[in-house]
Amino acid sequence: MSVQFVFISRVDFSYSWRLKMYMVESKEGAIACMLFALFFLGTWPALLTLLERRGRLPQHTYLDYSITNFLAALIIALTLGEIGESSYDHPNFRQQLYQDNWASVMFAMAGGIVLSLGNLSTQYAFAFVGLSVTEVITASITVVIGSTVNYFLDDKINRAEVLFPGVACFLIAVCLGSAVHSSNAADNKAKLQSLPADAVKGLKTTDVPSFSDLESSDYLSRKAKAGSANYLVELENRRSIKVFGKSTLIGLSLTFFAGACFSLFSPAFNLATNDQWHTLKEGVPHLAVYTAFFYFSVSCFVLGVTLNIIFLYQPILNLPKTTFKAYLNDWNGRGWALLAGFLCGFGNGLQFMGGQAAGYAAADAVQALPLVSTFWAILLFGEYRRSSKKTYSLLVSMLVMFAVAVVVLMASAGHRKESKVAKSIEQ
């Protein structure tokens, strides 16, 4: 016998207090988690892009981001992971740290490693390919591969007749996104050809505006209009990653590599929490979503910090060398980088909470985050300003297809059956 407490809300976040920690159990609660995750995960890339375009070195930004990204997981584990009584069969976060569950821990940490590699790659891809197109390609690869794998790992709890049409919508959106990128690139090329050759080739990078300059009303009144040829030149002058004259294959390679990494982290997390391959010893409880997320974030943090400390002294893509001391003293934009880490951390946590309740294939609906990222790209960075009618029509078509895709994937949400161990405890 168990006592069910329900929050008084239109969304049913119900949980059992006896021998259980807090868990999202209803389909409505899972969908609410996915919607919040969609907003958070679509916003943090815009903040990293904003800082890069303002001239902050990506190594400095990613180190700040990594700190709060890990803190978010720790906060979730020490709050939601500690609610309720604890027993061997239903342990809380701290008790699970001492159980013999290393097989599942390894899956969780593997998921964190591929996510860290993917996030690090996209940070550089944003400069070469653009925020919107990068998100479209990576999200679509994630859904096509990751959702299909999760569907079978979750014992087909999602409705296939709904899920796979949603995946098809993402594929169509990929094609539209590629067309948007091609059309917008042609528009930008035409704009730059209208300028004298010296204005483009003779870029001066010595007069890069500071953060205080960029935020002053005087600078804002003097800056070039978004989308104009002069705007593109000014952007190249002040940004930290220089892209003029470099092959677009660099950005596309980074983007497809990131998409492949993103397609693997959710299935790895699924295996960590549900042990579909039966790697745990008999009687050892599955990792709770909060414990798995903690280990997931530990590996993500360690790899991200290690690589970026190396990049301080051995930078890639012709970025300037810096030092750890210079990083510590770089407070320009640090608040935005820390906020980005919190948004990503809580967004991932909410995605996993929703996936544990409704199926990780359905939770991949948060990969419609290009809807949010494109909004910020247009609002903050002026992407697609003064573009052709062809570009605008393709852009609208892409966003509509993504909107349809997220609705369809959420509609495929199922309900995970309670484990046999849990049932025996209830009785």
Domain boundaries, the chain: 27-203+225-412
Question: What would the 3-class secondary structure string for 74-95 be?
Answer: HHHHHHHHHCCCCCCCCCCHHH
| 360 vs 244: which has the higher pLDDT | 244
Start-to-end C-alpha separation, the chain: 6
What secondary structure letter does DSSP report for 19? Answer: T
Give the model's pLDDT for residue 222: 45
**With bands split at pLDDT 50, 70 and 90, how would you rate the model's confidence at 25?**
low
If one counts every other C-beta atom within 10 angstroms of the C-beta of residue 1, the result is 5
Give the model's pLDDT for residue 258: 95
Give the model's pLDDT for residue 174: 75
Tell me how far apart the 2 most distant CA atoms of the chain are, in Å.
79
The stretch 304-330 carries a mean pLDDT of 96
Output phi, psi for 332, to 5 deg: -70, 115
Can you spell out the DSSP letters for 149-198? HHHHHTTT-S-HHHHHHHHHHHHHHHHHHHHHHHHHHHHHHHHHHTS-HH
Give the model's pLDDT for residue 361: 55
**Helix 248-274 and helix 131-141, axial crossing angle in degrees, nearest 10:** 40
Contacts of residue 270, defined as CB under 8 A and 6 or more positions apart, other chains included, come to 150, 153, 154, 276, 355, 360
Residue 220 pLDDT > 70: no
DSSP alpha helix (H) spans, 206-333: 211-215, 217-222, 229-238, 248-274, 289-313, 324-329
Give the model's pLDDT for residue 103: 92
The stretch 43-60 carries a mean pLDDT of 94
d(Cα 412, Cα 163) in Å, to the nearest integer?
A: 5
The stretch 155-177 carries a mean pLDDT of 77
Give the model's pLDDT for residue 300: 97
What mean pLDDT is reported for the chain?
A: 79
Q: Closest by alpha carbon to 178, among 210, 136, 122, 215?
A: 136
Give the model's pLDDT for residue 213: 44
Give the model's pLDDT for residue 413: 60
Percent of the chain, pLDDT > 70?
Answer: 76
The stretch 70-77 carries a mean pLDDT of 95
Give the model's pLDDT for residue 320: 93
**Which residues are registered as beta bridge partners of 14?**
6
- CB of 58 closer than 8 Å to CB of 124: yes
> Which of the residue ranges 8-22, 104-118, 412-426 has the most confident prediction, judged by mean pLDDT?
104-118
**With bands split at pLDDT 50, 70 and 90, how would you rate the model's confidence at 9?**
very low
**With bands split at pLDDT 50, 70 and 90, how would you rate the model's confidence at 417?**
low
Question: What would the 3-class secondary structure string for 341-404 be?
Answer: HHHHHHHHHHHHHHHHHHCHHHHHHHHHCHHHHHHHHHHHHCCCCCCCHHHHHHHHHHHHHHHH
Least confident of 103-107, 326-330, 389-393: 389-393
**Which residues are registered as beta bridge partners of 5?**
15
| 198 vs 411: which has the higher pLDDT | 411
Residue 423 pLDDT > 60: no
Q: Closest by alpha carbon to 290, among 9, 97, 30, 67?
A: 97
pLDDT digits (tens, 9 = 90+) for 362-372: 556 666 777 78
**With bands split at pLDDT 50, 70 and 90, how would you rate the model's confidence at 266?**
confident
C-alpha distances in Å from residue 18, one per residue of 3, 4, 55, 370, 425: 7, 9, 53, 41, 10
